[in-house]
Amino acid sequence: MKILIKSATIVNSKNTILADILIENGRIAKVERNVKEDADRKIDAKDKFVLPGLIDLHTHLRTPGREDEEDLISGSCAAAKGGFTTILCMPNTNPCIDNEGVVEWIREESQKIGIVDIIPIGAITKERKGKELTEFGALKKAGCLALSDDGSSIDDSYLFRRALEYAKMFNLIIVSHCEDKSLSLQGAMRECFISGKYGMSSIPDIAETIRVFRDIEIAKYVNTKLHLAHISCKKSIELIRKEKEIFSYLTCETSPHYFILTVEDVEKSNFHGNFKVNPPLGERNDVEEIKKALKEGIIDCIATDHAPHSFAEKEAPFENAPFGVIGLELAFSLTYTYLVREKIISLNQLVEKLSYNPANILGLKERGEIKEDAIADLIIVDVNKSWQVISKNLVSKSKNTPFLNSELMGLVELTIHQGKIVYERPFFPSINLSSGE
Amino acid sequence: MVEWTKKHILEIKDLTRQEMEVVFNLASSFKEVSQREVKKTPALRGKTVVNLFFENSTRTRTSFELAAKRLSADVLNFSSSTSSISKGESVVDTIKNLESYRPDILIIRIDTGACLKNFLNYTRASIINAGDGKNEHPTQALLDMFTVKEVKGSLDNLNVLIVGDIMHSRVCRSNIFGFQKFSSKVRVCGPPAFIPFEFEKLGVDVFYDLDRAIEDVDVIIMLRIQRERQNLAYFSTLREYVENFSLTPERLKRAKKDCIVMHPGPVNWDVEISSTLKDELHPLILKQVENGLAIRMAVLYLVGAEKREHKTLRR
């Protein structure tokens, strides 16, 4: 199938160009003005932007194990609707993604669905217990590009060092969730004035920063790649800023809620479970520092940390509710609304954080940029359209987001994955499903 | 007199000084009821009050139960150990289930903080907070203030000192917000691990040294210490805690002459308070229990009896 996108304003991380795009055999065949060729489908992209497909380094798909909260189909649809064409899913599943069997199963099933590319992140230790290393080589062969114990930071520094060394041999990247659990304990929100005022069990920001420091020092010592997940506080950024000057293997991400929401929003929600995330939401100065770091390029990526939870789990009292919010359908619009429109970053930088840098970190050379011969993963967005986040219109099985009923700017109109239209608002043509908008 | 408009008693944070005064005045009237031969008034006849206790409690539950019964309400006691919570039912589902009986007042005690406002979505009943996590325990603060008012005549411009485990104390938080609304100054004193983050921003003075904190105070509230905190290193040994934070006759001398001492109970004598002070201090602590009943009758009446004049109590 040939697709021709006419009058596209192509936004790559480094430039914006006006051209037509011809897609053939799953690849971008031509990027040039006035392509005359015939195509099976012609799309007029006048007044819209065409971006490389977004890449999410941090998704939880709850599969296998909690398919009531998300499965590979609903997760794929949520991703495509949000403009993602490649997502990496974390191994905190049941069974855990700690062996090639589970990796192969997810790869095969998701390819059968064929809506987005799902690349599992393998566990570093068996069952993410922080005791024994998994078989990195087998995980890599099965398709993993990155490894992480996700929510369970490896407390044993010796083991973490050995994991980094072993990962180096396979050219795998370690993604670290930085949390010193002896400090965070059973905390539910950031330790701050508000937590004290309500006697809410709390987590100090240093629980993250201390682990950031340790992980960077070990990675520097081993001299290998390290990616830090969902950075949430000013202190961590100050440290990362300094280290990045001398250590080029270091990359990091944040998530939209960390550059938008604060502990004050937690209070205003009357401590609703949808505002409970780990690491917890910070204070105003953390949000400002994260925005600054995104602008400066200290933070390389924006990842969703998409974490579906059932309604019943999230309506529990705040201190008992599980951590996490969904993000696949929201990340683009949140980033556009709160960063691009507010002139914190440009649309090119949005592409850098949500596509180009993640591709680079994973070594996916044919993604993250609209150019000839690249894989045809791209999206058409209308940044002038606003939309309201309404629970029933979300295609994710779970609706746990603090942005319910918010009005956001920027809408993904069309998602092409490997040369195939997988989402054309509001339809998922390949599986004959509508998002219901 | 102000007209009562609050449907719920969730946090002292939400109450005004005038509203608290309404509660105190009404409580004074209700004290009289409890001294009668027939200790009952028909104020809440036909109303259903549910004691919904997701956390163990005997004292507060008993106090609320008796208060509701003296107002002639039908009382249903529900505690998590004997209920469907132990079968895995969620707190929210329990509330939804009880809602089918159309209760008028839910008195809720729960181990998670600041969760009651979200429960309002699931019930038409009034909710009275009987202690939510470490957040608030409004009726305890009201009874404490009421007791102070009875003894001192006024709640204005007092120096109030709260000693002990400030961090985990809902009683402490409610008292801080309450006394501050009467322009009294609150000091807190305990080991640093028991003092919440940036707590001074609440407008309280923080002390680690009880001998200094106690100077010139009119009211002391000693908080119960939970011995298991020692295991989490909030302090080292109980011996050392007692040495630094126990109220002794010598320490008490540093406070104002007419200083009163309260304790939400039950007291660990010789831990929070030296037993040599028992004869002197215990009567007021028991008075708190008596006042607790009157305060709880007052709040039940206020939220339970809609559109009433509160100038006088109908007897």
Contact residues for A144 (Cβ-Cβ < 8 A; gap 6+): A103, A119, A120, A121, A122, A172
Question: Do residues A233 and A93 both lie within one domain?
Answer: yes
Cβ-defined contact of B114 to A316 (cutoff 8 Å): no
Q: Do residues A278 and A323 make contact, with C-beta atoms less than 8 angstroms apart? A: yes
What SS3 string covers A144-181? CCEECCCCCCCCCHHHHHHHHHHHHHCCCEEEECCCCH
Statement: residue B230 has pLDDT above 80: no
Question: Do residues A45 and A85 both lie within one domain?
Answer: no
* CATH classification at residue A273: 3.20.20.140
Strand A433-434 to strand B105-110: parallel, antiparallel, or no bridges (unpaired)? unpaired
Best of A182, A267, A270, A400 to mutate (most B CBs within 10 Å, chain B): A270
What is the band of A131 on the pLDDT scale with cuts at 50, 70, 90? very high
Question: Do residues A130 and A174 both lie within one domain?
Answer: yes
Taking CA atoms, A423 is separated from A77, A328, A337, A378, B5, in Å, by 8, 14, 22, 11, 53
Domain contains A188: yes
What is the band of B226 on the pLDDT scale with cuts at 50, 70, 90? confident
Nearest CA-CA distance, residue B251 and chain A, Å: 28
Question: Do residues A300 and A186 both lie within one domain?
Answer: yes
Question: Do residues A324 and A419 both lie within one domain?
Answer: no
- Interatomic CA distance for residues A346 and B270, integer angstroms: 66
Which residue of B90, B133, B173 is in closest CB contact with A319? Answer: B133
Nearest to B303 by CA among B112, B68, B135: B68
| pLDDT at site B81 | 65
| pLDDT at site A71 | 97
Question: Could you give the ipTM of this predicted complex?
Answer: 0.92
The answer to whether A275 contacts chain B (CB < 8 Å) is no
What is the band of A436 on the pLDDT scale with cuts at 50, 70, 90? low
Question: Do residues A286 and A343 both lie within one domain?
Answer: yes
Nearest CA-CA distance, residue A198 and chain B, Å: 5
Contact residues for B96 (Cβ-Cβ < 8 A; gap 6+): B122, B123
Average pLDDT, chain A: 97
Domain contains A342: yes
pLDDT in tens, A136-163: 999 999 999 999 999 999 999 999 999 9
Domain contains A401: no
Cβ-defined contact of A319 to B112 (cutoff 8 Å): yes
Domain contains A210: yes
Question: Do residues A45 and A56 both lie within one domain?
Answer: no
| pLDDT at site A69 | 97
Question: Do residues A158 and A211 both lie within one domain?
Answer: yes
Domain count, chain A: 2
- Interatomic CA distance for residues B152 and B305, integer angstroms: 30
Q: How buried is B154 (Cβ within 10 angstroms: 0-12 exposed, 13-18 middle, 19+ buried)?
A: exposed
| pLDDT at site B311 | 37
Bin B157: left if φ > 0, else alpha if -120 < ψ < 50, else beta: left
Question: Do residues A329 and A202 both lie within one domain?
Answer: yes
| B90 chain-A contacts, CB cut-off 8 A | 312, 315-316
Distance of CA B59 to the CA centre of its chain: 11
R_g of chain A computed on alpha carbons: 21
Question: Do residues A177 and A296 both lie within one domain?
Answer: yes
Which residue of A196, A202, A320 is in closest CB contact with B112? Answer: A320
Domain contains A369: no
Cβ-defined contact of A315 to B198 (cutoff 8 Å): no
pLDDT in tens, B92-101: 999 999 999 9
Cβ-defined contact of A316 to B91 (cutoff 8 Å): yes
Q: Do residues A286 and A361 make contact, with C-beta atoms less than 8 angstroms apart? A: no
Percent helix, percent strand, percent coil in chain B, to nearest 5? 45, 15, 40
Last residue of a domain, one of A362, A394, A415: A362
Cβ-defined contact of A199 to B168 (cutoff 8 Å): yes
Domain boundaries, chain B: 12-137+291-304, 138-290
Best of A198, A266, A272 to mutate (most B CBs within 10 Å, chain B): A198
Statement: residue B87 has pLDDT above 80: no
Nearest CA in chain A to B168: A199
| Residue with more model confidence, A112 or B308 | A112
Please list the active-site residues of A.
305
| pLDDT at site A434 | 80
| A315 chain-B contacts, CB cut-off 8 A | 90, 92, 118
* CATH classification at residue A7: 2.30.40.10
Domain contains A132: yes
pLDDT in tens, A35-50: 999 999 999 999 999 9
The answer to whether A193 contacts chain B (CB < 8 Å) is yes
Alpha helices in A26-156 (DSSP H): 72-81, 100-113, 136-142
pLDDT in tens, B163-176: 999 999 999 999 99
| pLDDT at site B313 | 35
Q: Do residues A273 and A314 make contact, with C-beta atoms less than 8 angstroms apart? A: yes
The three-class DSSP label of residue B248 is coil
Question: Do residues A317 and A333 both lie within one domain?
Answer: yes
- Interatomic CA distance for residues B225 and B229, integer angstroms: 8
| pLDDT at site B2 | 62
Q: Do residues B160 and B186 make contact, with C-beta atoms less than 8 angstroms apart? A: yes
Work out the average pLDDT over A71-98.
98
Q: Do residues A263 and A190 make contact, with C-beta atoms less than 8 angstroms apart? A: yes
* Architecture of the domain delimited by B138-290: 3-Layer(aba) Sandwich (3.40)
pLDDT in tens, B267-280: 999 999 999 999 99
Strand ranges (E), A154-313: 173-176, 189-190, 202-203, 226-228, 250-254, 301-302
For A99, other C-beta atoms within 10 Å of its C-beta total 17
Q: By residue range, what is the domain housing residue A425?
A: 2-50+377-386+407-434
| A193 chain-B contacts, CB cut-off 8 A | 197-198, 201-202
- CATH 3.40.50.1370 matches B12-137+291-304: yes
The answer to whether A183 contacts chain B (CB < 8 Å) is no
Taking CA atoms, B63 is separated from A222, B143, B184, B293, in Å, by 64, 12, 28, 5
Q: Tokens standing for A39?
A: 């195509």
| pLDDT at site A181 | 96
Say what percent of chain A tops pLDDT 90: 98
Nearest CA-CA distance, residue A274 and chain B, Å: 12
Question: Do residues A35 and A123 both lie within one domain?
Answer: no
Work out the average pLDDT over A407-412.
98
Which residue of B117, B134, B202 is in closest CB contact with A270? Answer: B117
| pLDDT at site B83 | 59
pLDDT in tens, B109-158: 999 999 999 999 999 999 999 999 999 999 999 999 999 999 999 999 99
Interface of A with B in 196-225 (CB under 8 A): 196-202, 204
Work out the angle between the directed axes of helices A284-296 and A234-246 (0-180°, nearest 10): 20
Domain contains A317: yes
Nearest CA in chain A to B94: A316
Q: Tokens standing for A109?
A: 């099933």
Last residue of a domain, one of A330, A362, A394: A362
Domain contains A397: no
